[in-house]
Amino acid sequence: MERLPPKEIQCDCGHTFTIDRRRYWCEKCANPVYYYENEKNTHKWNTFLIYLAALGAISFLAYVFIEMIVIPWSSLQ
Ligand SMILES: [Zn+2]
């Protein structure tokens, strides 16, 4: 990974340290910290999209479950 000029970064947990890489892990709380502030925001946005995709998948599975199992099962009663 490319080396950058050392820069002091403050983590969300308040721990301050110097990094020379684009991405680093906080020694205190183990959260990722980013050299560039905008990459941190991109990461948060990506995380949000992953949650949204997971939520969509769960909703779809729930729909399939109701459609394929619950409705045919209840129509047998
Ligand atoms: Zn931290």
CA of 70 to the centre of ligand 1 (A): 46
C-alpha distance from residue 17 to each of 24, 27, 39, 57, 58 (Å): 10, 9, 18, 39, 39
Over the stretch 30-71, which tens digit does the pLDDT of each residue have?
999 999 988 888 988 999 999 999 999 999 999 999 999 888
Q: How far apart are the first and last CA of the chain?
A: 63
Q: How far is the CA of 77 from the centre of ligand 1 (A)?
A: 56
Domain boundaries in the chain? 1-35, 36-77
- 9 CA → ligand 1 middle, Å: 10
Tell me the pLDDT tens digit for each residue of 3-35: 889 999 999 899 999 999 999 999 999 999 999
Q: Is the pTM of this model over 0.85?
A: no
